[in-house]
Amino acid sequence: MQTINELGKHTFSAMLENSVNRFGDRPAVSYVSAEPLTYNDFYEKVKEVRQLLYSVGIRAGTQVAIYATSCPHWGIAYFAIVTMGAIVVPLLPDFSARETEACLTHSETTHMLVDERLKSKIPEAYLQTIINIGDFSLIKGEKVSDEVPPAHECNEEDTASIIYTSGTTGRSKAVELTHKNLISNAIAGQSCQRINEYDVALSILPMSHVYEFTIGFLMFFLNGACIFYLIGPPTPRLLIPALQKVRPTMMLSVPMVIEKIYKTQVVPAFTASPLKKKITSTRLGRKLFSRIAGKKLLKTFGGRIKFFGIGGAKTDPAVEQFMKDAKFPYAIGYGLTETSPLIADSSPKQTVPEWIGYVIPEVDVKLINVNPETGIGELVVKGPNVMKGYYKDPELTDESFTEDGYFKTGDLFFIDSKGHVSIKGRSKNMIVGANGENIYPEDIEFVLNQHPFVSEALVVEGEHSSLVALVQLDEEKLAAELKKMEEVTVAEADKKDDENTRLQNLQEAMGDAMADFSNAMTYKRAEILNEIKFFVNSHVNKISRIDKVEPVEKFEKTASQKIKRYLYNFRKKSNEKTPEN
């Protein structure tokens, strides 16, 4: 476990020097199918890239964008930029061409390292320098110097990154994080899990997201672990063989990944037969089957994983309970881009379903605007991980802090007497019921997502304080169910010997409304929407019952795959101007 005592100060130069000195010959980064670069190799590459950047005119204070999927060269590029005093502007690979250009223009960034696969989405005419991150070759730009870059003394309060959030409110914000913000957070993050040079991590999230960068890269790099990267998106075709080859001891994920595994693999296994369904309907039976499923899950992940960190969004309570029962070594973390990101976490041994854990060292939190009946209030935070501010937006920066200097997270929390923290939802998402009750849509959405035909769901406020559930149905499962119905009907008709009689019986069984596939789908969809309403209302309290369920073809999402809530908030849209992207 590394501390500030080993580094001397919270700068990337100090961190790089410490890791190279301590773990020089140990493997540092690699593609799954390649030979790892050692920490010494990594350092030599950093110096080479720093020389290239200096040669094209990049100096201390210059903004340089990294627009690439996660790879070994991503971390090398980052260290090269910040150790010469320049500033990294990381862009999510899922950003559109318009979003990319907007971020570059706002940050006045004219230098970029880009993944060849994303090159078609960049405004080449606007950029002064373009470097291929795959081999660090110069695509566009002119070398203005052959001099060796002079030594640069980094300060803790120097800006290291300007990170553009991909929020659900429609307004992208540029978060300015310092060397100290990021490195202090990586050091504090070790409170949830001890790491050493024999640990192996498999990265499946974008490094341009501060969660993966700080916890999934810096925290491991601090301790001499080796990080492996996929050559493409984490599809089952790439991920499953990689897990078996790398056999990671540590991984980071977002809830969506484990929730998908639970819904597509675990739940069907629990209900595969009437006997299994009956057994798993009891708490003891479900716990037993979860334990069996957990052993298979561990094997799928390579068999030696000891830390599976989940963050980025609230985790479905049913999925979390399964992981706990399965003895799968998961841990929940909470944070924001503005807090570098980690605020609270737990170790796999400390996890309690629906609780995050404890606030990390050196960070102070409290609740404001607390509801006296529930004890729930908005979490505000102060510490070395809290951002410098929003770039070029002093007004928004001022609005985001309390008078006594705490950052307003906008999230609603409950803190018990022992200091455990539990998130209840976003304050902006909270719906006030007809009688003044506080309703948390996220809790209802978790129930909706348990329905087998629901792919994703969103709960919003309708007219007269009503609750409306917007659901994206699982069309493949819907079509499969319809096909099964047709096969049963055909089988019944086949019992008749006469061809004409069989056809007549088939048509009668299908009914006029189901004479063709399109009408059948419409009929089945309407039936399922009613079923979903009954399902959710039988699993929530009275004030959280849904008044209406409406289908959505496909939800609009941010680059980090969160639903853009502001597009679907009927009541607010009728009273407010929709914010721009």
Domains 4-194 and 254-429 share a fold: yes
* Contact status, residue 377 vs residue 371, Cβ threshold 8 Å: yes
Report the percentage of the chain scoring pLDDT > 90. 70
**What's the pLDDT at 281?**
87
How many alpha carbons fall within 13 Å on the CB side of residue 451? 28
Torsion angle of C-alpha atoms 51, 54, 58, 61, degrees rounded to 10: 80
What mean pLDDT is predicted for residues 69-96?
97
Mean pLDDT taken over the chain: 89
| Exposed / middle / buried, residue 423 (Cβ in 10 Å: 0-12, 13-18, 19+) | buried
Asked whether the predicted pLDDT for residue 231 surpasses 90, the reply is yes
Structure tokens at 318: 């049913």
**What's the pLDDT at 581?**
35
**What's the pLDDT at 448?**
94
pLDDT-derived band of residue 492, with 50, 70 and 90 as boundaries? low
pLDDT-derived band of residue 580, with 50, 70 and 90 as boundaries? very low
What is the length of the chain? 581
What mean pLDDT is predicted for residues 341-366?
95
In the chain, where are the structural domains located? 4-194, 254-429, 438-493+521-574
* Contact status, residue 230 vs residue 30, Cβ threshold 8 Å: no
**What's the pLDDT at 165?**
87
At residue 228, what are phi and psi to the nearest 5 degrees?
Answer: -105, 150
CATH among 3.40.50.620, 3.40.50.12780, 3.40.50.880, 2.70.170.10 for 4-194:
3.40.50.12780
- Measured CA to CA in angstroms, residue 237 lies from 31, 117, 240 at distances of 16, 19, 6
Of residues 106, 71, 113, the one with CA closest to residue 90 = 113
Residues 6+ apart with CB under 8 A from 241: none
Global confidence as pTM: 0.86
Asked whether the predicted pLDDT for residue 413 surpasses 90, the reply is yes
Torsion angle of C-alpha atoms 202, 205, 206, 207, degrees rounded to 10: -50
Predicted confidence (pLDDT) per residue in 281-313, tens digit:
899 999 999 999 999 999 999 999 999 999 988
Q: How far apart are CA 129 and CA 53, in angstroms?
A: 9
Structure tokens at 289: 């089957």
Instruction: Say which residue, 29 or 559, is predicted with more confidence.
Output: 29
* Contact status, residue 38 vs residue 25, Cβ threshold 8 Å: yes
Q: What's the fold here for domain 438-493+521-574? A: GMP Synthetase; Chain A, domain 3 (3.30.300)
What mean pLDDT is predicted for residues 210-236?
96
Asked whether the predicted pLDDT for residue 88 surpasses 70, the reply is yes
CATH class for domain 254-429? alpha beta
Asked whether the predicted pLDDT for residue 107 surpasses 50, the reply is yes
